[in-house]
Amino acid sequence: MQRVDDFRLCFGKQELVPIMIGGMGVDISTADLALEAARLGGIGHISDAMVNTVADRRFNAKFVKEKLQQYKFNVSNPDKSVVQFDLGQLAEATRLHVGKTMEAKRGEGMIFVNCMEKLTMNAPRETLRVRLATALDAGVDGITLAAGLHLGSFALIEDHPRFRDAKLGIIVSSLRALQLFLRKSARTNRLPDYVVVEGPLAGGHLGFGMDWAQYDLATIVAEIHAWLVAEKLDIPLIPAGGIFTGSDAVAFLDNGAAAVQVATRFTVARECGLPEKVQQEYFKASEDDIEVNQISPTGYPMRMLKGSPAIGDGIRPNCEAYGYLLDSGGSCSYITSYNREVEAHPELKRPKVMDKTCLCTHMRNFEIWTCGQLTWRLKDTTLRHDDGSYQLLSAQHVFEDYQFSVDDKIALPESEFDVD
């Protein structure tokens, strides 16, 4: 009976355990979680989503406070076009977050940074260039291009001295998206080192429409694999989304996948950035508690728990402090929805806004409970305490369960308390 440990992800002469922990923002896939993956011989991700906020938390910096003070005069103005990120501060926050993580790295694995194109930050090209280049400067092993087609992202850093040295990959959900990326990036004369193929059961933002249920990860992976073979392109494929057991992973690895990307089971690890009370919500969730909605201002459908406090919460836009989703004209669809409801209900201090959410503030406060479609199975991966709560897991336990399990079995942890 094959196990994940019977396979290896090869980058040149380097061999890795073929397990990649996906990037989860804001600071859900923490440095601690990524460091454990690397120590165990796999690949861990940190996310650069809202990196100024993350740097403030980790290093007691004041990037958010300083930005808010600079633009406080504009708080009541619905026009946010004046709100800009200081590129020097953005670089410094990225350098701290990535650099300090890399300094702490131990083991034979790798640490990548997940970089979302949809964080347009009122200056899409300029801020993305800084984020990518600074991560490379800080010594990150690789960058995964996420949440967007990234048609110009390679060109932004092609003059960087590590452009051909670091591992660079992209997340796609269709063959067409990969073809577009390769066509637009061709002039840089550089192929991606890996392609993460994210299916419809993944957590958070999806690369599908609201018809996501009509698609199947295995079918998409097979289509992309066949095209790569026909084109004589040797690019490792890494399926993601709905891979819940080691046996699920082996099914892909046995059919030519180079590795698998997993995330949902690590949301209930002690090293994960979610507060424990939120992790208990993940454990308690039933299949009916999970939905895909369109409240994200990015335009992408998003999977989350229905009980997420952010849903319907008409908080005032906080772009002066955050503003990561402001487009190049200083607009965000949540601002439009919020202003519409304020105008319609002037008597309310905090109106309900159901169609969009203030993603920055609520992700920062862990009030959007993004999750994979199989989150309802998490309760079966651990032990339940007498008080009804569930035992958190170690990242090592989850990682090694993927690595060594067979027959669709999931190893339970040793009890830390008396259990039912």
Reading the block at residue 85, the tokens are: 């990120």
pLDDT > 60? residue 123: yes
Mean pLDDT of 377-393: 97
Task: Assign 419 a pLDDT band (cuts: 50, 70, 90).
Answer: very low
Q: Which two tokens stand for residue 151?
A: 């048609």
**Confidence category of residue 416, pLDDT binned at 50, 70, 90:** confident
Domain ranges, ordered by start, for the chain: 4-404
**pLDDT surpasses 70 at 420:** no
Helix (H) or strand (E) holding 175: helix 175-185
Question: Which amino acid is it at 111?
Answer: I
Contact criterion met (CB below 8 Å) for 329 and 321 = no
Which residues lie across from 302 on neighbouring strands? 205, 293
Q: What mean pLDDT is predicted for residues 196-218?
A: 97
Dihedral of CA 159/160/166/167: which sign? negative
Domain 4-404: CATH architecture, name and number where available: Alpha-Beta Barrel (3.20)
**Beta carbons of 101 and 111 less than 8 angstroms apart:** yes
Tell the residue number behind the tokens 């051909």, with chain if given: 164
According to DSSP, residue 335 is labeled: H
- pLDDT tens figures, 299-344: 999 999 999 999 999 999 999 999 999 999 999 999 999 999 999 9
Which tens digits make up the pLDDT trace of 224-237? 999 999 999 999 99
